[in-house]
Structure 1
């Protein structure tokens, strides 16, 4: 397409968390803003990421509670789960949030362009519109925020066997009797546990010697014990050699010679950046060997006036980090110098119970040369956990022995993601661990466990 592009103060390509938030705020200020979105209004998180998966996690937790009603002195009929019911619940949650985002986009005054964008020059994209035809758009400032998609590794026979991903798993219209999960990262663990709760026989295959190799070994071992108690068969240190479908059966052959069979196989081995069809060469934007957009610590790309944010820029793949990328871009587009350096990034793996972490693990702290003191607390010691009959798990804190600063915590237990924020606040404020040890915290709450954790003997 040739011709004169329409000019905008801000052009956002891809409406994930950072991009859509920046686009709406900039448009509300009176600037001319265009945002191009291809197929997922609201971005990955709302459509196929955090929101639908956590909706299903909520279903699994409700089912667990119903199954243990007798422990609470209640008598209920036997709970029953169907794929159709789960899909209906998930769709209701997602559709409501998509509709809300769509209304916010239009109300902001931005020009929402639905279609597939491809750069033709720096700051300029040609959009193949969803309804047909094309538009040529140019931004004085341009932000790339196209996110990632599930990565399907080149295992022989995997695609031909009709493997599922974290995207397609969310639209499954039947409940697999036997599910094989390839990949023991956060996504694989969450799906493995929820489908085991729904009644599937689950085998999880992880190529590393243990689950969650970025966590301390004692924490990872506690997670493995919980999953094993849920009936999940864990196969670690195993490489998948090939996959073959024979009718309704899928055989997963391991390099060591064993074969794991199931009705379906879910591949959860990471995510790839959505950059291959963007024409970034024409924009002067470089990518790394994996396809992620190269940015500096101000989120600027190699092209003047062009920025990238969120997963596609190699930021930690969490929606809350993408939101922080938005804050950095907001300041830098106004002439500031905000940076991604030294961010304190928390995260939660939404197992039951949750694993929440912020800061350094014990191993990382020792490797960094800190004189470390470590406190551990079994979750069963927290009164709120006992009242809820959710006593599995371990809380662990790593403290600098010289400064008494909290270097990091790993909280494996119920509502751990909520308690984590209190620790993160203390770390951000530079408070010593004794501030949490001696703080008056409402009883009985899960967060009260911080009093107990930081009062525990340290080694």
Structure 2
């Protein structure tokens, strides 16, 4: 057994929140160690956010070239070289890795590549990637271990060696027929990308509606747009079994309302949710409790059940977005010096990077109904936003939820060009508690997508007369 090496701060996992905390503390003169088993900087720059958006953008270029005649430019032939798409992505990831290594060296935080396992409270045994072992202890310990793609317990699925988003982003070929299991955000993004690369794509969703967290009109609009691009959807079905090997030939038997049906394809992509990376790392030896879903149980200051141990990001049950992990870092950073920051009052937006993208912040119409909150709702089709006449990006709509009894903006959803950028303006108004007429009457630059906010807020019904 090696001797224990002591650090003031010990972080397991180098995801967004963990690495920012490490660099911040190390620059402050603290002795900090970060244990990472595989991806320097975590999954976001290596196998998730940045790589997926990189390839999604390549897919958009392919789509624009195929439709270039609509804009007056003729392309004589169009084909996708997935090895070049993949290399473009790999080049970006390599640059991000170099940046992260430089940040560790520059701040003085020690990056330790290996697999960590708690052997007792605040003490981690690390099996290094070179085969040796180190024993590390921290006065303060932070868990930033993230999540991984779930593989549903369907007969034959695991044996079929299905892709997850990680493998899909490493493909060097265009699948002939990609079957996507799951109609959530990751599945929908990847489905559109591979359809635009040239694959036939079928999305299978167990629920009656894709994107089950969204209002039905939002999900219906996304499905309508993607169906228009040739993606096939099968919702409200049960997968009975899978046979074959992904990458060669696969068959999926489903139960529909009209009976059993076989779907044959070349590749399977599983996008059916995520599971926390909390099993098998010795958390029981550290006194760290998990909730019923396997996430680390924390309070609103991200403190776990074990004294001196915090959790950051997805493994703590935080919203599964990089920007939420960044805010987790800020909460912990500020509280270390006496702050009173909490996760309970934050407003977390999100975007799905389809084309057009989906962006949402705050309450949806359905969530307001479930919570019994009286609201007024207004919508505006993107075709009514003048800029879309110039760009031919007329699909989608804006939708806002406003309180019935006052003029507070409670939620905003948009499917349309530059949705994430427009979202930020509405989120800022919500954070400032501005009544909606301020945005309705604002002078917004012409000819922009955000200009649509004026007519959107003008569509809000008057308050009910009691």
Gaps of 5+ in 2: none
Other-structure match for 2:249: 249
Q: How far apart are the structure 1 equivalents of 2:66 and 2:201?
A: 19
What is the count of residue pairs matched by the alignment? 458
Other-structure match for 2:147: 148
Other-structure match for 2:33: 34
Other-structure match for 1:59: 58
Q: Alpha-carbon deviation of 1:342?
A: 2.6
Q: How far apart are the structure 1 equivalents of 2:197 and 2:30?
A: 49
Secondary structure at the aligned position of 2:450 is classed as coil
**8 Å CA contact retained: 1:182, 1:265:** yes
Q: Alpha-carbon deviation of 1:71?
A: 2.2
Q: How far apart are the structure 1 equivalents of 2:160 and 2:135?
A: 40
Other-structure match for 1:80: 79
Other-structure match for 1:393: 396
Offset from partner CA, 1:280-338 (integer Å, 9 cap, x none): 11111111233211111110011000000101111110000000000111122223332
Q: How far apart are the structure 2 equivalents of 1:400 and 1:288?
A: 34
Of residues 264, 289, 292, the one that matches 1:289 is: 292
**Counterparts of residues 102-141 of structure 1 (less than 5 Å):** 102-141=101-140
- Of residues 125-134 and 297-306 in structure 1, the stretch that sits farther from structure 2 once superposed is 125-134
- Of residues 362-371 and 421-430 in structure 1, the stretch that sits farther from structure 2 once superposed is 362-371
Other-structure match for 1:319: 322
**8 Å CA contact retained: 1:380, 1:392:** yes
Secondary structure at the aligned position of 2:406 is classed as coil
Offset from partner CA, 1:406-457 (integer Å, 9 cap, x none): 1101100011011100000000000011111111111111111111211225
Q: How far apart are the structure 2 equivalents of 1:248 and 1:49?
A: 25
Other-structure match for 1:372: 375
Q: How far apart are the structure 1 equivalents of 2:413 and 2:93?
A: 30
Other-structure match for 2:423: 420
Q: How far apart are the structure 2 equivalents of 1:229 and 1:71?
A: 16
- Of residues 317-326 and 115-124 in structure 1, the stretch that sits farther from structure 2 once superposed is 115-124
**8 Å CA contact retained: 1:150, 1:167:** no
- Of residues 138-147 and 285-294 in structure 1, the stretch that sits farther from structure 2 once superposed is 285-294
Please give the TM-score of this superposition, normalised by the length of structure 1: 0.97
Q: How far apart are the structure 2 equivalents of 1:458 and 1:258?
A: 47
Secondary structure at the aligned position of 2:17 is classed as helix
Q: How far apart are the structure 2 equivalents of 1:326 and 1:139?
A: 18
Secondary structure at the aligned position of 1:253 is classed as strand
**8 Å CA contact retained: 1:22, 1:330:** yes
Gaps of 5+ in 1: none
Offset from partner CA, 1:9-31 (integer Å, 9 cap, x none): 11111000000000001000111
Secondary structure at the aligned position of 1:40 is classed as coil
Pairing 1:435–2:438 present? yes
**Counterparts of residues 9-48 of structure 1 (less than 5 Å):** 9-48=8-47
Offset from partner CA, 1:104-154 (integer Å, 9 cap, x none): 111111111111111111111111111231111111111000111111111
4+ runs deviating over 4 angstroms: none
Other-structure match for 2:166: 167
Q: How far apart are the structure 1 equivalents of 2:166 and 2:226?
A: 23
Q: Alpha-carbon deviation of 1:227?
A: 1.1
Secondary structure at the aligned position of 2:92 is classed as helix
Q: Alpha-carbon deviation of 1:2?
A: 5.0
**8 Å CA contact retained: 2:289, 2:296:** yes
Q: How far apart are the structure 2 equivalents of 1:78 and 1:425?
A: 45
Of residues 356, 380, 385, the one that matches 1:382 is: 385
Secondary structure at the aligned position of 1:449 is classed as helix
Q: How far apart are the structure 2 equivalents of 1:11 and 1:280?
A: 15
Please give the TM-score of this superposition, normalised by the length of structure 2: 0.96
Pairing 1:178–2:180 present? no
Secondary structure at the aligned position of 2:307 is classed as coil
Q: How far apart are the structure 1 equivalents of 2:251 and 2:118?
A: 42
**Counterparts of residues 272-287 of structure 1 (less than 5 Å):** 272-287=275-290
**8 Å CA contact retained: 2:2, 2:133:** no
Q: Alpha-carbon deviation of 1:371?
A: 2.5
Q: How far apart are the structure 2 equivalents of 1:279 and 1:94?
A: 31
Pairing 1:98–2:101 present? no
**8 Å CA contact retained: 1:15, 1:36:** yes
**8 Å CA contact retained: 1:400, 1:407:** yes
Other-structure match for 1:358: 361
Of residues 291, 297, 304, the one that matches 2:307 is: 304
Of residues 429, 449, 454, the one that matches 2:457 is: 454
**8 Å CA contact retained: 1:183, 1:267:** yes
Other-structure match for 1:213: 212
